[in-house]
Structure 1
Amino acid sequence: MSDEEDLDDIEADQDDLEREDDDKEMEEWEDYRKEGEEVSEEWMPTPLTEAMMKEGLSLLCKTGSGLAHAYVKLEAKDRDLTDINLLRSYIHLRYVDVSENHLTDLSPINVLTHLLWLKADGNQLRSARLNELPYLQIASFSYNQIMDTEGIIHPRLVSLDLKGNRIHHVSGLDPEKLTNLHTLELRGNQIESTLGISLPKLKNLFLAQNMLKKVEGLENLSNLTTLHLRDNQIETLDGFSKEMKSLQYLNLRSNMITDLGELAKLRDLPKLRALVLLDNPCADETDYRQEALVQMAYLERLDKEFFEDEDRAEAEEIRQRLKEEQEQEQDVDHDMEPYQPPA
């Protein structure tokens, strides 16, 4: 697949991510969480029961040597559960959804060593820490009360969702253990720094709606194709490196970038094709689109509009003129150097 086809796919995905429903979803879940905290002391203990298991189990599969069978999928969503200890007796489970309950403890999950997929959104979890689950590929802990990213050590994990929690700093994400992680979702936390995200295999990183003021420590993300930084407090475009050689889509909407000269710092991103800068002060400048294309010759889309051929031709003329002016200045500086007689 060509870079252009990749970009089309990325743009389609991002348009979905940028829809207004995202903001509405975050607000609704925040209201839900606050309401849950207010009544948490009134929650009646509600353990997972055999009747609930019977109702929620599905997907009969072979186990072990292939001579036995067991149900491997459980949906126990929105049951007001406070206790899932019964899962310790169902070691063959591969897919578990315990979202929208009142869980504070996921330790019974530790015995599910065949688990491939875990969804525990909308609970009261304060940590995503679990024992190493050797086959876990997708894990979602969005809209909990998780404070950190420690204890996530699953070697086959591909996608990790921690959206809408209370994380201030990213730590404990070991690149030696998370060797397959390619999508990290951290939107809607309180993250103040991008330090701690040193995962060379990462392809998609979502950090919108946090408290970031700059980008730092992402230099080694050579496989990153998508970086989402919408709704932060970023003022400068320092921190972007030519080592980020795969980055195609960069969303910086609703930040605090004022100076169009900052765009020059994105010039070394060889595959950057789509850039979003709406709702930054610099986007109000009259030569905003032209300056972006002058600085980044290969840019295909700024915000939601593609560049036309005439835009490219005009930007190329400006680049050539600037180059000639620079060369002339260098010649003048050289001519004005004082004569140095031979020794």
Structure 2
Amino acid sequence: MSDEEDLEDFEPDQEDLEREDDEKETEEWEDDRKEEEGGSEEWILNPLTEDMMKEGLSLLCKTGNGLAHAYVKLEVKERDLTDISLLRYYIHLRYVDISENHLTDLSPLNHLTHLLWLKADGNRLRSAQLNELPYLQIASFAYNQITDTEGISHPLLGILNLKGNQIQTVTGLDPQKLISLHTLELRGNQLESTMGLNLPKLKNLFLVARWVRGRLVQGRGHYPGGQDAWLLVGSATSFIIIMIIGTIY
């Protein structure tokens, strides 16, 4: 046997590696959530300040009308923030990372009508509800305490990450408004069924089988939108289901 064949035999499968990373991430999140639920710690008020903004702003670009320049990217993750009210005045922001803080309210983001990309993972959000943002394409609210899918109606939104929350039922995802949504991440929730997922462009739906107690079955199934679906189950330890929406040939 050649050295190349030996290397091939011992080369780890990429899907297995990704699955192991995902399992580790989920386990760490579950441990953190148990600690939060078991404790009574209250966070000290820590609002976003101008000094933090100066440190976190980058990417100087022309504004929408082309008559001025402004910084359009903000990264203020892991700052123990409890309030981002200041963001309402930074209307030219397009890329915002406010992950790993202690935020419970995202309403200041309603003023950012040029927002393209949002990452709000690892906060204390109960909802992902925002006003309709006309240009938002990618939004991540992973590892919060979100209990529903109401108030998500961004017409250009293509990727939505709600992994690691407390969602039991999918409601409010309007197919007439979410006309661009093609990837939806719902692993790490407590879903009982896939009802409410009647989305016209949805191609990739990620779930966790061990928490799905509804009508999902392994193998070929029927998607609520009228399309065929194929359910691919991962290893027996991860129970990850990947539902790929589309016609089955």
TM-score (norm 1): 0.61
Q: Please list, as runs of the form range in 1=range in 2, the aligned pairs for 1:77-92 lying within 5 A after superposition.
A: 77-92=77-92
Q: Is the Cα–Cα contact under 8 Å of residues 214 and 239 in structure 1 kept in the other structure?
A: no
Q: Please list, as runs of the form range in 1=range in 2, the aligned pairs for 1:187-266 lying within 5 A after superposition.
A: 187-209=187-209, 210-215=211-216, 234=217, 239-240=221-222, 244=227, 250-253=231-234
Structure 1 stretches lacking a partner, 5+ long = 1-13, 216-233, 256-268, 272-343
Q: CA deviation at 1:18?
A: 4.8
Correspondence 1:270 to 2:248: yes
- Point out the structure with the larger helix share: 1
Q: Could you say if the C-alpha distance between residues 107 and 206 of structure 1 is closer, same or farther in structure 2, counting changes exceeding 3 Å?
A: same
Structure 2 stretches lacking a partner, 5+ long = 1-13, 237-246
Q: Which has the higher contact order (CA 8 A, sep 6+)?
A: 2
Counterpart residue type for residue 145 of structure 1 = Q
Rounded to whole Å, the distance in 1 between the matches of 2:27 and 2:185 is 17
Q: Could you say if the C-alpha distance between residues 16 and 76 of structure 1 is closer, same or farther in structure 2, counting changes exceeding 3 Å?
A: farther
Q: Is the Cα–Cα contact under 8 Å of residues 126 and 144 in structure 1 kept in the other structure?
A: yes
Q: Is the Cα–Cα contact under 8 Å of residues 73 and 95 in structure 2 kept in the other structure?
A: yes
Rounded to whole Å, the distance in 1 between the matches of 2:159 and 2:227 is 20
Rounded to whole Å, the distance in 2 between the matches of 1:107 and 1:56 is 20
Q: Is the Cα–Cα contact under 8 Å of residues 185 and 207 in structure 1 kept in the other structure?
A: yes
Q: Is the Cα–Cα contact under 8 Å of residues 219 and 232 in structure 2 kept in the other structure?
A: no
Report the secondary structure of 2:205's partner residue.
strand
- Point out the structure with the larger strand share: 2
Report the secondary structure of 2:19's partner residue.
coil
Report the secondary structure of 2:194's partner residue.
coil
Q: Please list, as runs of the form range in 1=range in 2, the aligned pairs for 1:68-107 lying within 5 A after superposition.
A: 68-107=68-107
2:126 matched residue in structure 1 = 126
TM-score (norm 2): 0.83
Counterpart residue type for residue 204 of structure 1 = N
Query: In the comparison of the two structures, how many residue pairs are matched?
Result: 223
Answer with 1 or 2: which has the greater Rg.
1
Range that drifts further, 39-48 or 83-92: 39-48
Counterpart residue type for residue 141 of structure 2 = F
**C-alpha distance after superposition, 1:248-295 (max 9, x if no partner):** x6312467xxxxxxxxxxxxx633xxxxxxxxxxxxxxxxxxxxxxxx
Q: Is the Cα–Cα contact under 8 Å of residues 158 and 183 in structure 1 kept in the other structure?
A: yes
2:8 matched residue in structure 1 = none
Q: CA deviation at 1:30?
A: 1.7
Q: CA deviation at 1:89?
A: 1.1
Q: Could you say if the C-alpha distance between residues 38 and 81 of structure 1 is closer, same or farther in structure 2, counting changes exceeding 3 Å?
A: farther
Cα RMSD between the aligned structures? 2.2
